[in-house]
Structure 1
């Protein structure tokens, strides 16, 4: 497991596309939308920053799914997955070795984007333990969803297209682009079934209301529940993934 994790992490550090999607593009979106909405709507600066910085952090966390899909499909089509399956390595060890580097990337992304918000926009942070727990939950669900997508997608393009649907669709319906209370009732009801909504609500509770772990337990439970469901689906679909792997 450790060797797989280190190899995957080494490949990720050399992937310039990953760094663009993970750090540069989110910063561009954050600056652009705070400038746009701050000038055109005259919104309260603190509420605007608390909506946009965590909101786009949550949205772009799900873009890690693209890298996960690409990594798994490359292993499948290159024969690497079949070769690893012929060794004594356990399925769980393989999954953990592939998964942990992506979790680390998402957590680093969250740290960088929140630090940017603090330095540039004076984003208040609130209870650090609650922020850490929510960030781990967000990383868990984003990467778990990516693992499920990676073993189920037939092609790389299909996986990338579905990632766009999950990331952008979840952002729109989950209240990441605008506060949920401004949305129609039907969309507000849909939002409560999405992990994007619960991640942002948890962050806003901590940042705006000085919430603690006791105040965000529901958000954490939903994120962990989604993460477990996606990870379980990925493990169950792994035999199918191996059957399609080139030897």
Structure 2
């Protein structure tokens, strides 16, 4: 398990495309949209940075699913999955070994983007413990869904397309681009079934309202349950994934 995790982490560190999606592009978006909306007289500067920085952090966290899809589909098509299945390594060890590096990458991404917000825009962080647990929950749901998607799709292109739908559709409907209360009522109802909504509302509760872990406990629970569901789907779909692997 740890050998798989170490190899996966090393491979992803060398992936320049991952660095672009994870750090460079989110920072560009944050700079651009803070510049655009900070001049709005009807919205305070603190509300702007509290909406935009966590919002784009959440949105771009979901793009890790692209790297997860590409990595697992390549392992399948190159016969790596079939070779691993022929060894005594349990299925759970394989999945955990593939999952851990992406969990670490998402947590680093969140830390870097929030750190950028603190240094450049004086973003208040609020309760540290609440922020850390909420960020762990976000990383868990993103990577849990990433594992499920990677096992379910037949091709890399299908996985990339579905990731775009999940990331962009969730950003639009989940209140990452603009506060949910400014959206039409039917969209506000839809938003409450999306993990993006619970993530952004949790961050705003901690950063803007001064809340703590107890105040966002329900948000954390929703994201953890969604992440567990993703992991269970990945495990359930593994036999089909294995059958598609080249021997």
* Match status 1:164 vs 2:144: no
Q: For 1:214 and 1:128, locate their aligned partners in 2 and report how far apart those are by CA, in whole Å.
A: 13
Q: Deviations over 1:215-244 (max 9, x none)?
A: 001100100010011110001001110000
| Residue equivalent to 1:82 | 82
Structure 1 counterpart of 2:182: 182
Task: Tell me which residue corresponds to 1:152.
Answer: 152
Q: Which residue of 1 aligns with 2:222?
A: 222
Residue 37 (structure 1) shift: 1.5
C-alpha distance in 1 between matches for 2:193 and 2:239: 29
CA distances 1:171-218 after superposition (whole Å, capped 9, x unpaired): 000000000000000000000000000001000000011111110011
Deviation, structure 1 residue 43: 2.7
**Distance across 1 between alignment mates of 2:166 and 2:245:** 26
Cα distance between partner residues in 1 of 2:148 and 2:15: 22
For residues 125 and 168 of structure 2, the distance between their equivalents in structure 1, rounded to whole angstroms, comes to: 25
Counterpart position of 2:207:
207
Q: For the residues of structure 1 that align with 2:56 and 2:37, how far apart are their CA atoms? A: 14
Matches of 1:55 and 1:148, distance apart in 2: 23
SS in 1 for 2:245: coil
Counterpart residue number, 1:4: 4
> Equivalent residue of 1:175, what SS?
coil
Residue 124 (structure 2) pairs with residue 124 (structure 1) = yes
After superposition, the CA RMSD in angstroms is 0.8
- Counterpart of 1:231? 231
1:110 paired residue number: 110
Alpha-carbon distance between aligned partners in 1 of 2:235 and 2:28, rounded to the nearest angstrom: 36
Residue in structure 2 matched with residue 67 of structure 1 by the alignment: 67
**TM-superposed deviation, 1:41:** 5.8
Q: What's the TM-score once normalised by structure 1's chain length?
A: 0.99
1:137 paired residue number: 137
Which runs of 5 or more structure 2 residues have no equivalent in the other structure?
Answer: none
TM-score, normalised relative to structure 2: 0.99
Q: 1:35 to 1:241 in 2, by over 3 A?
A: same
**Superposition deviation, residue 42 in structure 1:** 5.6
Name the count of aligned residue pairs.
247
1:39 and 1:165 mapped to 2: Cα distance? 30
How far, CA to CA, are the matches of 1:164 and 1:194 in structure 2?
Answer: 15
3-state SS of paired residue (1:154): coil
> Structure 1: which 4+ aligned runs deviate by more than 2 Å?
39-43
Q: Output the CA distance in 2 between the equivalents of 1:41 and 1:210.
A: 24
Deviation at 1:39, TM superposition (A): 2.8
